[in-house]
Amino acid sequence: MRMTLLTLMFITSAFVCQPVFASDLDVSKSITIGSGPKTVIEFTDPDCPFCRKASKYFDSRPDITRHVFFYPLPRHLKAKDKARYALSQLDRATAYHVVMSGLLDSVQKFEGITDAGIKLQEEQLEIAKKNKVNSTPTFIINGRIIVGFDQKKIEEALGK
């Protein structure tokens, strides 16, 4: 029984821990921020305090290109509307920064949400689910999945 359980765990980890690369994701559905040589895939929630800290950290890194997908958590009641608002704007990168800054935290009803923004938010959610994202922030860096804002692990993955 013990040998079978260990074998099963090994086989399962081989399938679950497959590296994910930016080339495997439809980054045309993401918000692209920056133009550095190092790529970070980011799954974020606009009301997650650790996501906001990560956003500030990456903003200080000119060597990074980020592809951001919103993954609003159900417990953050305004997160989905904030994501839809940002994705409805012509300048999505600027809207992302406004949303992540907390400047819109007191807004009760978001104006300017478009059908295209709603559709894109739903597509981003499907991309997150397809890649087994279930918490925020989640990053994919050089095929390595990092859950949570762990600056040390992020810097190790980026090769700082």
- Please check whether residue 142 lies inside any domain of the structure: yes
Residue 140's domain comprises 19-158
The CA distance from 126 to 95, in Å, is 21
- Please check whether residue 9 lies inside any domain of the structure: no
pTM: 0.84
- Please check whether residue 60 lies inside any domain of the structure: yes
- Please check whether residue 6 lies inside any domain of the structure: no
Domain count, the chain: 1
Beta bridge partners of 131: none
- Please check whether residue 14 lies inside any domain of the structure: no
- Please check whether residue 98 lies inside any domain of the structure: yes
Digit-coded pLDDT (tens) for 12-64: 333 344 444 445 789 999 999 999 999 999 999 999 999 999 999 999 999 99
- CATH code at position 26: 3.40.30.10
- Please check whether residue 2 lies inside any domain of the structure: no
- Please check whether residue 13 lies inside any domain of the structure: no
End-to-end C-alpha distance for the chain, whole angstroms: 44
144-147: strand order across its sheet: 31-33, 64-70, 38-44, 138-141, 144-147
Digit-coded pLDDT (tens) for 65-119: 999 999 999 999 999 999 999 999 999 999 999 999 999 999 999 999 999 999 9
